[in-house]
Structure 1
């Protein structure tokens, strides 16, 4: 047994006119769309015009398009979802803007009653009146049979929508949605269309248009063309940095009618340094006509635009390196994001993008040419700790602690990550006699720091002003984090983590005392074991702080006790 759906017309009208569209202002777009499609249906040589008037809040839109017959009025205006822009198989016809047959309902956002007076050549005039509660009336042949073919739509005011029906608002909306339309559109005799595409002019014209339309003076403009999608337009390069986490909105027109001002699906995520204005004859809108339908054609257009942006960067690198440097200073994040998966952009980053090193800014290509192997650390705090020490050992170190840097370096040959503990192999060992003489001191210092899981070494290295250095390898950092976690969890998980620690051998962090430092040599010669121990504790705490290492509760206790102990020795008595 089959049944048909029961449709509540009042509910359908409310659903489509109040929930499909994001704002009441789209009613102007839908009226312009219908008018332009009616003009297009007459033929390519027809000179179309659309006249909008605003009188006492009543909106009238008159076009000299093809008009409708009585049968079409019943079929199209009274059937939700039916559109004259479809062929007999139901496919959207290419030359028309509208496809869904629901645009007129958007007028109920600002009107309680819609009146349509229309006539097709050789046919009697027809009047259709629709009400917001779902009722409609059709009257044929009453008057207007001698009028010019075309359609007049009248919107009677809806309370609360006054701001959307003023002359100023209608002019602004007509310009917003229809400024590029190839027909004259007037609002109370004010022309709102230009009829030309702004990117069809000179580069200066495009830059001026970008500044006026997008609200910023573009760094540069990149012409765009994707014939497969019938797409033309321009990408305007932002003059200031943009957040990679925010996908920029792009201004998209379909057959010269504005679809939306903030379409994010047009470009890949890495291209956040441009804002585009494009027109397409082939891309498909969603039913609300406020976004693009995400299909294979949109994906192909997105890839093609990405290739054109990439090509602009490559050409800029070859033709104007100074200009490229200015761009990279502003938009290095976008270029680095692209270099993660694009070999051509990776070469551009390698050749042109300066990176922070312990000897100043330098490109990766220069570093490889001068030093063969590029060494880096992937933590900013670690770089700060090691920069001066590595430079003193003639080791050039790249700071790869910023966004994308580590992943970019991983894609390049002759690049290696430096483990901080590797530096100890470059430090000088103290002579044999000195080492033997200081063995009791080092043993006492080691017993002092065993409870903190730290190994004590004595070396000579530059800069001599640095008394001690706290170094952690990857294995040591893992072990320290594992121990800190064990201290925080319950007994069951502590046992589990203990088993992991036993199964995975880890190195211990190292406190490398600098025998080239006069203060360290004096501490090594102290005859008071307690004072020497406090001094070692203080050197440990200072090395933690200078290296921006996390401070555990045990470390904080040691810092406090060593400070108070040394202060007590300085002033005499107990603290």
Structure 2
């Protein structure tokens, strides 16, 4: 830090910030890194960069490798045959927080081959150990000595030179890091945990990563990207995905983006997920596992996938658990999105059986995808299904039927009208399912088809007026029926409609339905809620509510009712027909409706039995 002032100092002096290493480690463990697991990631990254650096220094190929050896008493030896360090480099890169051996590389084409950028990775080892012992031998000189660096969390360190005959001396260039578990961190030094962590973070490293214990060793990784550089077939990719994620997939597809130098595989899930789901992906940077989160890189809607992604030129965040948002990341995301859309589009044409399975499993997600992406809507809309009075129809069926498309906006309205429309082979669509209305309106807009809510006029068009003579015959009956229905806020009309075996059709507008629901709720509510419901109902214009009971003149029962002169008998039949029409239409019944129905049925039975006795 440079300081100047008027205190009589003859010259300015340079000072250095002093860093409390213990506090720095606390920051790393509590704020930068998500868990102690990442010490393996940092060791793998440093080793991978050291191998890359040695290749550049020697200007020739050599077989890089990383070995992790587990010894007794929770001791771990992590070794690589990379560039190694000279003493000056040890002081520079291991003793200055934030310094990195990669920082001196200014050529972007070189820097992009390196995983680490921030020079603090080795400190993560202090989360699991109280001392870091590093033995290193540089590849830059044939006579380079083996050096031992021992660092401690209090900020002190030592360096010593090993003689060639010392058993710890390295015979060839590379670095060996020795760690002993500190109290409470012993689990991170067990074979199972270490093998899982190495597999998780280093599976895609392009050189052997070997774990060794008791003289037995196992190579963890395949040393190549399974989807690049070989004639890998889809079955191999599906087996690789099954091994990595531990589940079977419906299908998979590869993708590549020149921007960011990104490639990978998207696996199609074989089960339904919610549109809000956050799948666990495997996203690698320069062959090293970076994150399971696809935020920013993968399309938000692609929740039906689990992806393996390998990036080379995307910029990691300081914690190396994500990518910086920039134009390159935006371009990569768009490329992956377009690839997924093209896959769905071509699958519908080229693999209809597979598309059928895919569509059935992920229908809800695909609805949202279609609504958000007009270029996919054209393909997907033909496959979405709609409940109609002609059975289940697809979007293709609807756009090819050559009719205007009428829909019922509520489940109750659809239940009311469906029987009437069905009997006359008229099309009515139920849009009360998720996204059904948006999809139907989108279909109408795209193909120039009229889509509208069913109106009273369309309903009345399905009913014929009676001839003048028939109207005159039924006038007295209608007056009596309306008198009977007056207390039920309902009016009766005589019409002719199909089916002939349906004696009546009941229709309520939305306000009448709400009035009925409030009345029913008041009967069940306590005094406080009853007052609230009274306030709500007082604001409604009850005189505008319409409840109609259409009596079918084509029905033999209705024709016989017109001839009945006894008002008490007529009352029984009208009330039965009224309540049955409510039930058929799915309307809520008032408190005494069922009691009235049962009582009237019993009265009819009594009359019938009395007639037989006579």
Q: TM bucket by the smaller chain? A: 0.7 to 0.9
User: Is the 8 Å Cα contact of residues 541 and 558 (structure 1) preserved in structure 2?
Assistant: no
1:60-88 C-alpha deviation (Å, 9 max, x unpaired): 11112122344443443344444333358
In the other structure, the counterpart of 2:466 is 430
Classify the secondary structure of the residue corresponding to 1:361. Answer: strand
For 1:77, the equivalent position in structure 2 comes to 94
Larger radius of gyration: 2
Partner of 1:339: 370
Structure 2 residue 79 is the aligned partner of structure 1 residue 55? no
User: Any idea what SS the aligned residue of 1:312 has?
Assistant: helix
Q: Which residue of 2 aligns with 1:563?
A: 597
Corresponding residue number in structure 1 for 2:9: none
Mapped partners of 1:571, 1:508: distance in 2: 33
**3-state SS, counterpart of residue 500 of structure 2:** coil
Cα deviation digits, residues 255-274 of structure 1 (max 9, x gap) = 11122335354332332222
> Which of 127, 133, 136 pairs up with 1:118?
136
Post-superposition offset of 1:464 = 3.1
- C-alpha root-mean-square deviation of aligned residues, in Å? 3.7
The Cα of 1:340 is off from its aligned counterpart by 0.9
Q: Distance in 2 between matches of 1:449 and 1:104?
A: 86
Provide the residue aligned with 1:278 in structure 2. 309
Pairwise CA distance, 1:195: 1.0
For residue 7 of structure 2, what is the aligned residue in structure 1?
Answer: none
- Classify 1:178/1:518 alpha carbon distance in 2 versus 1 (closer, same or farther; 3 Å): same
Out of 147, 154, 158, the position equivalent to 1:138 is 158
| TM-score normalised by structure 1 residue count | 0.85
Of residues 12, 23, 29, the one that matches 1:17 is 29
Please report how far the alpha carbon of residue 156 of structure 1 lies from its aligned counterpart in structure 2 after TM superposition. 0.8
Aligned to 1:255: 286
Which 5+ residue runs of structure 1 have no aligned equivalent? none
Q: How does 1:51-200 map to 2 (within 5 A)?
A: 51-56=67-72, 57-87=74-104, 93-120=111-138, 121-122=140-141, 124-132=145-153, 134-141=154-161, 147-188=171-212, 189-200=217-228
Q: How far apart are the structure 2 equivalents of 1:431 and 1:259?
A: 80
User: Are positions 1:414 and 2:442 aligned together?
Assistant: no
Which residue of 237, 240, 255 corresponds with 1:206? 237
Contact 1:75 1:82 in 2 (8 A): yes
1:365 to 396, 402, 407: 396
**Is the contact made by 1:479 and 1:508 (CA closer than 8 Å) also made in structure 2?**
no
Q: Does the Cα contact within 8 Å between 1:185 and 1:192 map onto a contact in 2?
A: yes
Can you list the C-alpha shifts for 1:375-412, whole angstroms capped at 9, x where unaligned?
33344554444333212222123333322221111122
Whether the aligned pair in 2 keeps the contact of 1:112 and 1:158 (CA below 8 Å) is yes
1:537/1:558 contact within 8 Å kept: no
Q: Tell me the TM-score normalised to structure 2 length.
A: 0.81
Aligned mates of 2:488, 2:274 — CA distance in 1? 42
1:513 corresponding residue in structure 2: 551
* 1:176-575 map, 5 Å: 176-188=200-212, 189-200=217-228, 201-380=232-411, 382-411=413-442, 412=444, 413-419=448-454, 421=456, 422-446=458-482, 449=485, 453-473=489-509, 501=541, 508-523=546-561, 525-529=563-567, 532-533=570-571, 535-549=573-587, 551=588, 555-567=589-601, 569-570=603-604
Q: CA deviation at 1:52?
A: 0.8
CA distance in 2, matches of 1:463, 1:5: 92
Give 1:36's aligned residue: 48
Secondary structure (helix, strand or coil) at the match of 1:112 reads strand
In structure 1, C-alpha distance between the alignment counterparts of 2:86 and 2:389, rounded to whole Å: 80
Q: For residues 440 and 180 of structure 1, do their structure 2 counterparts lie closer, same or farther at Cα, with a shift above 3 Å needed?
A: same
How many aligned residue pairs are there? 566
TM-fit CA distance, 1:444: 4.7
Q: Is contact 2:485–2:491 with CA below 8 Å preserved after alignment?
A: yes
Query: Could you say if the C-alpha distance between residues 326 and 285 of structure 1 is closer, same or farther in structure 2, counting changes exceeding 3 Å?
Result: same
Q: Structure 1 residues 306, 377: closer, same or farther in 2, change over 3 A?
A: farther
Report the secondary structure of 1:428's partner residue: coil
Q: Judge conservation of contact 1:185–1:191 (CA < 8 Å) in 2.
A: yes
Alpha-carbon deviation of 1:348? 1.2
Q: Unaligned stretches of 5+ in structure 2?
A: 5-14, 608-614
Q: Distance in 1 between matches of 2:421 and 2:372?
A: 31
Determine if contact 2:283/2:294 at 8 Å carries over to the other structure: yes
Q: Distance in 1 between matches of 2:227 and 2:319?
A: 27
Moved more, 451-460 or 209-218: 451-460
2 CA distance for matches of 1:414 and 1:49? 65
Decide whether the 8 Å contact of 1:126 with 1:138 is kept in 2: no
